[in-house]
Amino acid sequence: MTRNDIDTRADGSPFATFDEAAAMRDLVSRETGSPWVVAREGIGFTIRPGRGSPQDSASPGAALSGQTSLTPGVTRGTPVDAETLILRPAWRCGWPLMIVALAAAAGVFNADRLALLFMGADLVTFWNRWSPISPGETVALLSAAAMIFALGSLLVWRYGHRYTITPMDVEMRVGIIRRETRTVRMKHIRSVGLRQGFWDRLVLKVGDLEIASSGSGDADDVAFRRIVRPARVREHINSLMHDHGA
């Protein structure tokens, strides 16, 4: 086993919990005789070569030389810039628009059949006699317009919302042409609320985070809407708040 044999799960994804990463860290440290440490990877965890003895790296509170701890037992394995977490609304929440786009695409490829089905043979014949555009072409154009509108709305909705978490602050950016930006410093965060409905929690696995600062009263300064794994994102923010003594 070499130092680079294992740093994530077999499928290449980060470990979901610190305990899973710590167990793998201990195993690799024993097998290689070299120290490994747990590092944060997005909102998951991975293990990376460290410094010192395997006994030193086996401690959950050990930190890399020159690096500070994100949470108890978790060290920064990358520069501060790489600690920035960028989120957007989940694609899966746009399923109504996706259904509209798929139905419209089906209409484009079956325009003649749909025209005949809904208009009847007599009306289609009459239409062809007096109109330069056939009923099938009309249905295809309307379907294409509906498909473009649905896909455009989906893209604007997703990429018009950007949520950023850094070790120093959280930021919400809304809009593409006309943009609104709200930022709250980590040390000023008063509460991080989580809102999930039944469908969101059990099926879509998404939710909303509502972040309020110490000077906002009952209002929410920043809201992360329809993000994936909101509970884990909230834990990440809480750990950063802990680092700032919030």
Alpha carbons 118 and 223: distance in angstroms, whole number = 45
Which residues, 6+ apart, have CB-to-CB distance to 76 below 8 Å?
A: 39, 40, 64, 67, 68, 69, 70, 83
Domain spans, the chain: 18-82, 94-157, 160-243
Report for 38-47, 96-105, 175-184: range of highest mean pLDDT: 96-105
The overall average pLDDT reported for the chain is 79
pLDDT of residue 182: 93
Q: Please give the residue that has the higher pLDDT: either 77 or 130.
A: 130
Contact (CB, 8 A) for 220 and 191: no
Neighbours of 128 (CB within 10 A): 13
Alpha carbons 193 and 209: distance in angstroms, whole number = 6
Alpha carbons 162 and 176: distance in angstroms, whole number = 10
The whole-number average pLDDT for the span 175-203 is 92
pLDDT of residue 214: 80
For domain 160-243, give the fold.
PH-domain like (2.30.29)
Report for 10-24, 31-45, 53-67, 108-122: range of highest mean pLDDT: 108-122
How many residues appear in the chain? 246
Task: Give the tens place of pLDDT for each residue, 138-161.
Answer: 999 999 999 999 999 999 999 999
pLDDT of residue 8: 52
Q: Please give the residue that has the higher pLDDT: either 82 or 155.
A: 155
Q: How far apart are the first and last CA of the chain?
A: 42
pLDDT of residue 11: 54
Residue 47, SS3 per DSSP: strand
pLDDT of residue 32: 78
Residue 191 has pLDDT above 70, yes or no: yes
Residue 78 has pLDDT above 60, yes or no: no
DSSP, residue by residue, 72-138: TTEE--S-GGGG-EEE---GGGGHHHHHHHHHHHHHHHTHHHHHHHHHHHHHHHHHHHH-SS-HHHH
Alpha carbons 159 and 218: distance in angstroms, whole number = 28
Pick the closest to residue 240 from 166, 172, 164 (CA basis): 166
Alpha carbons 132 and 118: distance in angstroms, whole number = 20
The whole-number average pLDDT for the span 7-18 is 64
Residue 4, SS3 per DSSP: coil
Amino acid at position 33, single letter? G
Residue 63 has pLDDT above 50, yes or no: no
Report pTM. Answer: 0.63
What backbone torsions phi and psi does residue 202 show, to the nearest 5 degrees?
-95, -25
Amino acid at position 146, single letter? A
The whole-number average pLDDT for the span 124-129 is 88
Task: Give the tens place of pLDDT for each residue, 194-222.
Answer: 999 999 999 999 999 999 988 655 556 89
Helical packing angle, 111-130 and 95-109, nearest 10°: 50
